[in-house]
Structure 1
Amino acid sequence: MENAKNNTMIQSLQVGMSIIDLIAIQENPLKFTEIQELTSITKSNLYKYLNTLTHLGLLERDKKNGTYSLGSKMIEYGMAAIGNQDIISKVTPYLQEISLHTSFSALFAVWTNDGPVIANIWSSNNGLNIGANIGTRLPIQSSSGKIFSVFNPPNLTKEWKDKELAVLTDKERTYLLNDEGLIEENFISFAKEPLVPYVSSLSTPIFNYNKELIGAITVVGFSQLISQDLNDDLSQYLLSMSNQVSKRFGYKRPV
């Protein structure tokens, strides 16, 4: 890969961005050898570039098959660029209120082509490790993942959902699919320790005026303190707050 030399630019940065551009336009993740063949960058230099870009979160390496794809930081930047930042700014005060009221962590997740990711987190408990950060992709078994699986149009979620279900056991898959009816009926989902031990969550959907899902608000805390009951005070509080947020985006929940 040739890069025009320009004393007013940083050539190594140009090379790094050209690697990101290359991976971004591919239909599938690329292996090291494929990137090397397409760029003609020496193996030693390419290793350094890929290692740096992966460390920064701009690329992500699949440890199982060694392929590279865009990382969580690129998703975070993309969300800001396409306007999700405005949605996030409107939701953030509610995350703060929920966290202060419950003493748990509150997060907001949005949909991307690779599945749901965390767009913002607010925590009044700095000692709680929820096992995720802004930009983290969430699995279908998480309470947020269940919300997107149920309320997003099937054409958006089919590829992601098929991929997620494929790695589950028959028991896990059956439980998850049976749970979807209750989630659709009650507008709330629960997950017991989906990411890290001893940490559980509950989530509710956020809709806009077109009744389209724009995100999910999730409360995360220690398992013994997080209810898995629809009638619990915490569940009812989160449902009330999510209804307030949806109203701000013009949504009117059917009576």
Structure 2
Amino acid sequence: MGKSEKNANVIQSLQVGMSIIDVVAAQNRPLKFTEIQELSGITKSNLYKYLNTLTMLGLLYRNRKDGTYSLGGKLMEYGTAALGDRNVIGKITPYLRETSAHTSQTALLALWTHDGPVIVDICSANYGLNIGAQVGTRLPLLSATGKVFAAFKDESDPQVREWKRKELGKLSDERRKQLEEEIEQIKERFFSYALEPLVKHVSSFSVPVFDFQRDLVGAVTVVGFTEQIPQTAEEEMGKYIVEAVLEISKSFGFVAG
């Protein structure tokens, strides 16, 4: 009886619509109608109606050339609103573009959500590069970005503690000890490096952005082919990014030293 009462208070068509968005999001690439049908199990006639509605609402985007579906701009609007950091993204985006252009690499901005760092903006200078992530992707602890959040995000926040607990639970004792040593170095150098964390031959480094209270605002991360990405802040590209991100922090009232 309890189950039927619970179901009576649920709009099934909304659940179905959201399940379609989940399918598209999970594949991390544009999908054809037939692929969505196969993955969702929804009949053709119903799926047409759902896709037309979701596209009309801007929750999905339909490419007119090949007919594929991907996540729509409306979802990015909602994501940005949920983060509550429109001003942060707007402030940092110009620096992100400049960084990408100067380094000829992909630059991304990650902010904190309730369960870990998420990419909120990407500027790509190499459109053929698959970085293994897109706007909305949650980044793991062992990524360059994840290490920055592990090093500088306030652990008095229970959400931060829970995220670290879950992520550390996936590691061996040896890897956990190695990571602890890395994090101590990151705290000293304000620079994090990760060797091919998501995609083979693609590595990244990340630099923290602070505010006037010296709290972590987010992380600017540069991604590219492994041989092109510096492993230390002493290398030319590393120095440039550290200085550029320091300017971003100053725009939020951060005082160095």
In the other structure, the counterpart of 2:111 is 110
Give the Å deviation of 1:53.
3.6
1:42-85 CA-to-partner distances (Å, cap 9, x unmatched) read: 9x968844531413549xxxxxxxxxxxx9x8686243255311
1:86-108 CA-to-partner distances (Å, cap 9, x unmatched) read: 11011001111110100000000
In the other structure, the counterpart of 2:81 is 80
Equivalent-residue separation in structure 1 for 2:14 and 2:122 (angstroms): 34
- C-alpha contact (below 8 Å) 2:191/2:232 kept by paired residues: no
SS in 2 for 1:99: helix
In the other structure, the counterpart of 1:124 is 125
SS in 1 for 2:86: helix
Match of 2:177 among 174, 177, 190: 174
How high is the sequence identity, in percent, across the aligned residues?
43
In the other structure, the counterpart of 2:234 is 231
Match of 1:220 among 219, 223, 227: 223
Give the Å deviation of 1:38.
3.1
In the other structure, the counterpart of 1:186 is 189
Matched, 1:153 2:121: no
Q: Cα RMSD over matched residues?
A: 2.7
Match of 2:7 among 39, 43, 52: 39
In the other structure, the counterpart of 2:54 is none
Question: What residue ranges of structure 1 are gaps of 5+ in the alignment?
Answer: 1-33, 59-70
TM-score normalised by length of structure 2: 0.73
Question: What residue ranges of structure 2 are gaps of 5+ in the alignment?
Answer: 27-70
Judging changes above 3 Å, is the alpha-carbon distance between structure 1 residues 239 and 46 closer, same or farther for their aligned structure 2 residues? closer
TM-score normalised by length of structure 1: 0.74
| Partner AA of 1:55 in structure 2 | V
SS in 1 for 2:229: coil
In the other structure, the counterpart of 1:197 is 200
Judging changes above 3 Å, is the alpha-carbon distance between structure 1 residues 168 and 37 closer, same or farther for their aligned structure 2 residues? farther
For 1:139-150, list aligned pairs within 5 A. 139-150=140-151
Equivalent-residue separation in structure 2 for 1:220 and 1:121 (angstroms): 10
In the other structure, the counterpart of 1:253 is 256
- C-alpha contact (below 8 Å) 1:191/1:202 kept by paired residues: yes
- C-alpha contact (below 8 Å) 2:145/2:192 kept by paired residues: yes
Q: Moved runs in structure 1, 4+ residues, more than 3 A?
A: 44-50, 73-76
In the other structure, the counterpart of 1:51 is 19
| Partner AA of 1:158 in structure 2 | R
| Partner AA of 1:106 in structure 2 | A
In the other structure, the counterpart of 2:41 is none
